[in-house]
Amino acid sequence: MQLKAIDVGFGYQKNSWTFRNLQLAIGKGEIVGLVGPSGAGKTTFGRILAGYEKPLEGMVTLNDSPLPTTGYHPVQLVFQHPEKAVNPKWRMLKILHEGWDPDDELLERLGIEKEWLHRWPNELSGGELQRFCVARALGPKTQFLIADEMTTMLDSITQAQIWQVVLDIAQKRNIGILVISHEAPLIERLCSRIVDISNN
């Protein structure tokens, strides 16, 4: 069971490629790191893997089939900027339940306070919003998680706590993870394999 990128290429301008011929395979339960300089297309590649963008060439498959286009998506993306991933017209409770209904234990482990559930997104800090995005991405049907600079808005102690929760759940449920980060120590600590996008 794998998430695969096969000869994937993308560019925002005609005749100008951000990357081409990208190959990647992530197995269930595997943690892979994605590194490269700013502008190399790491975030765009993550969006393609999660179905938010379509590649200009190549394809992404899940278990050797095209990515699904309806229902709860088995490849979940946690954006670097959580304010762009939530509906500003919804309270946090509705946002959280958009995909599934997390239990109180998970919310507590992620440091989400119950009073936050009734707030609007603009009433929370970036770090608080990011906790909700992590919880929302860990639905029971999630098979792969794309973590794009997932904890950059949190202090180092909270980062470690959030990652421990994610890793515990991933291990129990055999979720594959792609870690996109500029933080070399984080990548080296978490990942069994590292892919450098700067060579494409």
Q: Which domain holds residue 128?
A: 2-199
Whole-angstrom distance, CA of residue 165 vs CA of residue 43: 23
For residue 67, give every residue at least 6 positions away whose Cβ sits within 8 Å of its Cβ, in sequence order, or none.
51, 60, 61, 73, 75
Residues 6+ apart with CB under 8 A from 72: 99, 100, 139, 141
Q: In what order do the strands lie in the sheet with 193-196?
A: 75-78, 144-148, 176-180, 31-35, 193-196
Q: What is the CATH number of the domain that holds 25?
A: 3.40.50.300
Rounded percentage of the chain residues whose pLDDT exceeds 70: 98
In degrees to the nearest 10, what's the CA dihedral of 118, 122, 123, 126? 110
Query: What DSSP string runs through 74-110?
Result: SEEEE-SSGGGSS-TTS-HHHHHTTT----HHHHHHT
pLDDT surpasses 80 at 199: no
Higher per-residue confidence, 91 vs 198: 91
* Radius of gyration for the alpha carbons in the chain, expressed in angstroms and rounded: 16
Q: How many domains is the chain partitioned into structurally?
A: 1
Q: Is the pTM of this model over 0.85?
A: yes
Tens of pLDDT, residue by residue over 163-197, are: 999 999 999 999 999 999 988 889 999 999 999 98
Q: Residue 135: name the closest of 161, 106, 114, 105 by CA.
A: 106
Average pLDDT over residues 84-108: 91
Token digits for 191?
């990942």
Residues contacting 100, CB < 8 A, separation 6+? 72, 136, 139, 140, 141
